[in-house]
Amino acid sequence: MSAIDQYISLYEHNREAIDSNAPHALNRLRPDALSALKRFGRFPGKRDEGYTKVSVEDMFAPDFGVNITRVPFAVDVARSFRCDVPNVSTLLGVVVNDSFRPTATLLKNCPEGVTVDSLASVAASDPDFIKEYLGRLSDNRDAAAALNTLLMKEGVVVRVRAGVKLDKAIQIVNIFNASADFMAVRRVLVVIEDDASARILFCDHSQSGDFKYLSSLVTEVFLHRGASLDYCDIEESTEQTSRMSQLFISQDEGSRLTVNGTSLTVGTTRNEYKVDINGSHCDTEIAVMAIADRKQTIDNSARINHFAPRSRSNQLFKYLLDEQSQGAFEGLIYVAPDAVHTEAYQTDRNLLASADARMHTAPQLEIYCDDVKCSHGAATGQLDQNALFYMQTRGVPKSEARMMLMQAFMSDVIDRVAIEGLRDRLRHLVERRLSGEHAACGDCAASCHN
């Protein structure tokens, strides 16, 4: 029996419990998702194109618990909150396993024209809005997205209405807290309307390293005409935690997007970035860094579709792999026949800090018109031994010199983070990660004063 068969059986035996009390705007999507899963038959494995290092089938195969009856879980936020950003004031919400909990300050301080609420709540109060957007980009295009749609009951909606310029960043902290192996089905819908702007920070943490956790995350982002979004994602969980994250983004004319992804402590992670540039004069920046050691695996896949003329995209992916860790990057820039005057760039740089680390990279271009500027490239190497030797001759201990070189390697990704206080915090988190330290519970007193 494949992993998909297990989840189909789970749904069919618990259909009433899953559908009960869920708004129709969510339930209406399940039949198509179920049909799609039956067509797929299995999740992709390492023999499938684009999945060289991570088998999605293996990720979903274990017998994870699923919170079908919506049992509430307690959580110690301060204990789990590792990416504390003391110099950034945010509108903070917490997702415990797969249930959204707004903080009191979020409810109090959320400005007019901004919605940060649970998916189920918005689906009940504004079903037309949910029907217009939810599932439109993911569209059951692969098995992982279809499974997320089949089992979702909760999630997060961020909506910024036309013309609203949101000063404070929105921060969503995803926390695993379960006393058994557990899968959280997480769904996020972000809609930034005409000429509106927002900054959103997502953080993934696990409260315990004693259990296996799996995050099934699908995020759909709509940027309307002239909209602007800075989207940041930090994963600092445990080696027992796996994550399948799919980010789907649609950009209309004149919109601006920056995406910053950071994988600091993981077990097995696959992140998929899929951006459709549907309007002219759009600007898209994606900067991602990944740090792995021991037997951790980080797989990033990116596809940027230029469907309209006179838009620009730039991607930078960097990996720092040590010990027996593995990394993978597969990226595609697609330029449609009418997308003239497109500028699109893609760069992958990888640093292997041990002889046993492995990296797979495959940047690609698919261009169907001539009047464009496009490039792609990849490079994989080791620490510069000459620089290491030079620093040692100047009295810098080898371990410190090694860490300084690795920090410098990641600096240009951090410099692209749009949230200024977060840049400083990331430098500290990277330094601590490279020194072999992990965030201690006492470090995370949740001082993001909202």
Closest to 201 in 3D by CA, of 169, 176, 225 = 169
Full pLDDT tens readout for the chain, 450 residues: 789 999 999 999 999 999 988 899 999 999 999 999 999 999 999 999 999 999 999 999 999 999 887 776 665 555 545 555 555 678 999 999 999 999 888 999 999 999 999 999 999 999 999 999 999 999 998 999 999 999 998 899 999 999 999 999 999 999 998 889 999 999 999 999 999 999 999 999 998 788 999 999 999 999 999 999 999 999 999 999 999 999 999 999 999 999 999 999 999 999 999 999 999 999 999 999 999 999 999 999 999 999 999 999 999 999 999 999 999 999 999 999 999 999 999 999 999 999 999 999 999 999 999 999 999 999 998 877 888 777 888 888 877 788 788 888 899 999 999 887 888 889 889 988 888 765 433 333 333 333
pLDDT value for 439: 45
CA distance 45 to 336: 30
pTM for the full predicted model: 0.93
pLDDT value for 432: 87
Q: pLDDT by residue (tens digit) across 102-133?
A: 988 899 999 999 999 999 999 999 999 999 99
Closest to 43 in 3D by CA, of 196, 152, 172, 145 = 145
Q: What is the dihedral of CA 83, 88, 94, 95, to 10 degrees?
A: -60
Closest to 374 in 3D by CA, of 306, 272, 317 = 306
pLDDT value for 25: 96
pLDDT value for 400: 79
Domain ranges of the chain: 3-386+409-431+439-443
pLDDT value for 363: 94
Q: Residue 208, CB half-sphere, CA atoms under 13 Å: how many?
A: 14
The pair of three-digit structure tokens given for residue 349, joined into one six-digit string: 């740089």
Q: Which residues pair with 273 in a beta bridge?
A: 247, 302
**DSSP string for residues in 396-419:** --HHHHHHHHHHHHHHHHHTT-SS
The pair of three-digit structure tokens given for residue 307, joined into one six-digit string: 């469907």
pLDDT value for 404: 84
Task: Kindly state the DSSP code that residue 110 receives in the 8-state scheme.
Answer: P
pLDDT value for 207: 82
Q: What is the 3-state secondary structure (H, E, C) of 257-326?
A: EEEEEEEEECCEEEEEEEEEECCCCCEEEEEEEEEECCCCEEEEEEEEEECCCCCEEEEEEEEEECCCCE
Helix (H) or strand (E) holding 80: helix 77-80
Task: Kindly state the DSSP code that residue 442 receives in the 8-state scheme.
Answer: G
Q: How many helices (H) and strands (E) are present in the chain, helices listed first? A: 13, 19
Contact criterion met (CB below 8 Å) for 296 and 328 = no
